[in-house]
């Protein structure tokens, strides 16, 4: 067997494998994490939006105050034991929202912020500098139509009007847009924040295991409203009131604003309890790849033209393989008697003997004067134990066979 150096540098091959494996893992993570090119800063009124109507400021403020804040893109987390903050848009499904609110009365506290502003993202034209992504221009205000579908839970009506300011929870202050203020009227809501003329801006619905707080005026909690210190303090007070003294995490829902991401099989493989099996499979793949990379011996070089390949088929190669097997087994000394019997049959065939026993062959050879040579050489072959003696005795019998043939 002829061997040579590997045609590729092992370090280069290892580098290619690592880069390819890293790219594959990044692709799988992107698929599982839902990287689909959509931006959360879409100008909507939710906790991931940085526009005037968004609530990213409220989430950041609560986190800095020591609360465990998270944004949820999974509808399965709507039942988590946490303060759930819901910011449904104008076009939300009222029936689905009503079901969520009804179930939350027995699962945990809920803070429902009604939508008011119709907003559009700022265009890129008309500015000296490109505005940050997600910044919006506020349009008209309007109350959501799905309030009618909450009648099974609470009969509530909303309207847009004007007010001079607000008061509640021991605080007073003004609004960012006192000319566009949303207030509600509902039976059973405990007033928390009211307008100067008595209109209800925020209230709490009791009568179950957990309260439901409804904030009709979003400018009390959104980025637009948090620009004022008094309104920021009121926002913290409303959240503390919604927690009702419980040490619970705060969960901002993003599924109702349309930013939900459903679980898939790839996502589940990287979450308990399937994460352990995934790690085992990855470790097994690394081991298999390493064993393949660190294979035994260098690459076998090609056989030159005209040379006999070590793996060629035929009688000669079969004999070589058999001899190698006998040599490695350490039984070379046992070849003498069977090879002597083989040579006896071959010499008998040369002489035309009907019987191939040694006595008959010796009688025929006596007629030619080779009887003593045949008997002595056969005995020497049977008695040989060392490889050198075996080869010498075998050659002697082969020479006698050639002599008889001539």
| Model confidence at 264: pLDDT above 80 | no
Would you say residue 388 lies in a domain? yes
- Say how many C-beta atoms besides its own lie within 10 A of residue 216's C-beta: 28
| Model confidence at 256: pLDDT above 70 | yes
Q: What is the mean pLDDT of residues 99-113?
A: 94
**One domain for residues 84 and 180:** yes
At 131, is the secondary structure helix, strand, or coil?
Answer: coil
Give the mean pLDDT of the chain.
82
Would you say residue 98 lies in a domain? yes
| Model confidence at 59: pLDDT above 80 | yes
Burial of 102 (0-12, 13-18, 19+ CB in 10 A): middle
280 is in which domain, residue-wise? Answer: 265-289
Residue 346: its pLDDT value, please?
Answer: 82
User: Which DSSP letter does residue 165 get?
Assistant: -
- 138: part of which helix (H) or strand (E)? strand 136-141
Residue 124: its pLDDT value, please?
Answer: 67
Domain count, the chain: 3
Integer CA distances (angstroms), 236 to 47, 72, 118, 223, 293, in order: 15, 21, 25, 13, 60
Confidence of residue 8 (pLDDT cuts 50, 70, 90): low
Say how many Å lie between the first and final Cα of the chain, rounded.
Answer: 39
**One domain for residues 148 and 220:** yes
Q: What percent of the chain has pLDDT over 90?
A: 35
| Model confidence at 388: pLDDT above 70 | yes
Burial of 175 (0-12, 13-18, 19+ CB in 10 A): buried
Would you say residue 329 lies in a domain? yes
**One domain for residues 124 and 220:** yes
Residue 114: its pLDDT value, please?
Answer: 96
**Tokens standing for 33?**
């994490």
Nearest to 96 by CA among 287, 258, 318: 258
Integer CA distances (angstroms), 101 to 52, 117, 257, 382, in order: 26, 23, 16, 101
Close Cβ partners of 93 (under 8 Å, ≥ 6 residues apart): 146
Q: What is the mean pLDDT of residues 176-190?
A: 91
Segment among 52-66, 84-98, 137-151, 299-313 with least mean pLDDT: 299-313
Whole-number Å distance between alpha carbons of 86 and 111: 6
pLDDT greater at residue 235 or residue 406 = 235
Residue 274: its pLDDT value, please?
Answer: 79
Instruction: Give me the numbers of helices (H) and strands (E) for the chain, helices first please.
Output: 11, 13
Residue 287: its pLDDT value, please?
Answer: 85
Whole-number Å distance between alpha carbons of 89 and 96: 13
Q: What is the mean pLDDT of residues 247-265?
A: 81
Q: Are 396 and 379 in contact (CB under 8 A)?
A: no
Q: What is the mean pLDDT of residues 307-328?
A: 67
Chain segment 226-244, per-residue pLDDT in tens = 999 999 999 999 999 999 8
Buried b / exposed e over 348-363, threshold 16 CB at 10 Å, is bebbebeeeebeebbe
Q: What are phi and psi of 361, to 5 degrees?
A: -65, -40
| Model confidence at 6: pLDDT above 60 | no
Would you say residue 336 lies in a domain? yes
Q: Are 143 and 113 in contact (CB under 8 A)?
A: no
Task: Enter the pTM of the model.
Answer: 0.61
**One domain for residues 274 and 351:** no
**One domain for residues 72 and 209:** yes
Chain segment 71-103, per-residue pLDDT in tens = 988 888 899 999 999 999 999 999 999 999 999
**One domain for residues 279 and 368:** no
Would you say residue 16 lies in a domain? no
Whole-number Å distance between alpha carbons of 55 and 344: 105
**One domain for residues 88 and 227:** yes
At 7, is the secondary structure helix, strand, or coil?
Answer: coil
| Model confidence at 219: pLDDT above 90 | yes
Would you say residue 299 lies in a domain? no
**One domain for residues 224 and 337:** no
Whole-number Å distance between alpha carbons of 278 and 286: 12
Residue 400: its pLDDT value, please?
Answer: 79
Q: Are 46 and 252 in contact (CB under 8 A)?
A: yes
Q: What is the mean pLDDT of residues 141-160?
A: 89
Which domain-ending residue is among 240, 258, 276? 258
Would you say residue 313 lies in a domain? no
Confidence of residue 39 (pLDDT cuts 50, 70, 90): low
Would you say residue 2 lies in a domain? no
**One domain for residues 115 and 170:** yes
Write down the H helix ranges in 182-300. Answer: 229-243, 265-268, 274-293
**One domain for residues 234 and 332:** no
Q: Are 180 and 160 in contact (CB under 8 A)?
A: yes
Q: What is the mean pLDDT of residues 277-288?
A: 86
Domain of residue 146, CATH code: 3.40.50
Spacing of C-alpha 94 from chain mean position: 36
Q: What are phi and psi of 214, to 5 degrees?
A: -115, 120
| Model confidence at 203: pLDDT above 80 | yes
**One domain for residues 82 and 162:** yes
**One domain for residues 203 and 278:** no
């Amino acid at each position: 067997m002829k061997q040579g150096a590997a045609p590729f540098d092992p370090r280069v091959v290892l580098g290619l494998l690592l880069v390819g494996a890293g790219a594959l893992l990044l692709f799988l993570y992107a698929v599982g994490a839902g990287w689909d090119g959509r931006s959360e800063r879409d100008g909507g009124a939710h906790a991931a939006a940085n526009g005037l109507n968004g609530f990213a400021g409220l989430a950041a403020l609560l986190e800095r105050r020591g609360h465990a804040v998270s944004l949820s893109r999974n509808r399965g987390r709507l039942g988590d034991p946490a303060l759930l903050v819901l910011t449904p848009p104008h076009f939300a499904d009222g029936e689905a929202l009503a079901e969520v609110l009804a179930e939350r009365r027995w699962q945990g506290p809920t803070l429902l912020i009604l939508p008011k502003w119709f907003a559009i993202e700022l265009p890129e034209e008309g500015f000296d500098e490109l505005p940050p992504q997600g910044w919006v221009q506020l349009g008209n205000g309007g109350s959501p139509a799905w309030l009618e579908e909450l009648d099974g839970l609470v009969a509530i009506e909303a309207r847009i009007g004007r007010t001079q300011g607000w008061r509640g929870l021991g605080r007073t202050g003004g609004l960012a847009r006192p000319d566009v203020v949303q207030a509600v009227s509902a039976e059973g809501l405990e007033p928390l924040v009211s307008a100067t003329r008595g209109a209800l801006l925020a209230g709490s619905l009791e009568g179950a295991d957990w309260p439901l707080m409804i904030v009709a005026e979003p400018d009390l909690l959104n980025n637009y409203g948090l620009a004022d210190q008094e309104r920021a303090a009121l926002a913290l007070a409303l959240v503390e009131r919604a927690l009702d003294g419980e040490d619970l995490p705060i969960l901002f829902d993003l599924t109702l604003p349309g930013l939900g991401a459903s679980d898939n099989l790839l996502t589940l493989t990287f979450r308990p309890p399937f994460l352990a099996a995934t790690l085992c499979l990855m470790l097994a793949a690394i081991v298999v790849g390493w064993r393949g990379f660190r294979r035994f011996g260098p690459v076998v070089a090609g056989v030159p033209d005209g040379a006999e390949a070590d793996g060629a088929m035929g009688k000669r190669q079969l004999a070589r393989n058999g001899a190698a097997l006998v040599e490695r087994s350490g039984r070379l000394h046992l070849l003498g008697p069977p090879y002597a019997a083989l040579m006896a049959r071959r010499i008998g065939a040369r002489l035309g003997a009907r019987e191939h026993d040694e006595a008959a062959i010796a009688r025929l050879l006596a007629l030619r004067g080779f009887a003593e040579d045949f008997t002595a050489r056969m005995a020497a072959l049977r008695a040989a134990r060392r490889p050198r003696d075996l080869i010498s005795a075998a050659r002697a019998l082969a020479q006698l066979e050639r002599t008889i043939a001539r």
